[in-house]
Amino acid sequence: MYLDLYYESRTNGEFRHRLHQLLGEIERYWDLAQSNSAFLTRYQEALFEFVKFCNFNSVFLTPHFWPRYPPATNL
């Protein structure tokens, strides 16, 4: 089944809600995994659940891995 992420993320409230829930879990477990390696497995599970939810499209993870571009560097 084809999933139009652009359309779903803009028009489907249930999709957006679940998307934000999964991103919140990823952020929370990432922060916990930085101080305690026992949470690393849960972080990986949350990340995999998110990727499956988006049909293996990682576009919504871009802000997680690259939160801001260095301002002193040109594009």
Burial 34-59 (b: 16+ CB within 10 A, else e): eeeeebeeebeebbeebeebbeeeee
In a domain, 32, yes or no: yes
**Is residue 39 within 8 Å of 26, Cβ to Cβ?**
no
Residue 75 has pLDDT above 60, yes or no: no
Q: Which DSSP string do the residues of 12-57 spell out, in sequence order?
A: -HHHHHHHHHHHHHHHHHHHHHHH-GGGHHHHHHHHHHHHHHTTT-
pLDDT tens, 23-60?
Answer: 999 999 999 999 999 999 999 999 999 999 988 888 88
In a domain, 45, yes or no: yes
In a domain, 49, yes or no: yes
Range of the domain at 48: 20-61
In a domain, 56, yes or no: yes
User: What is the sign of the dihedral through the CA atoms of 44, 47, 53 and 57?
Assistant: negative
pTM of the model: 0.76
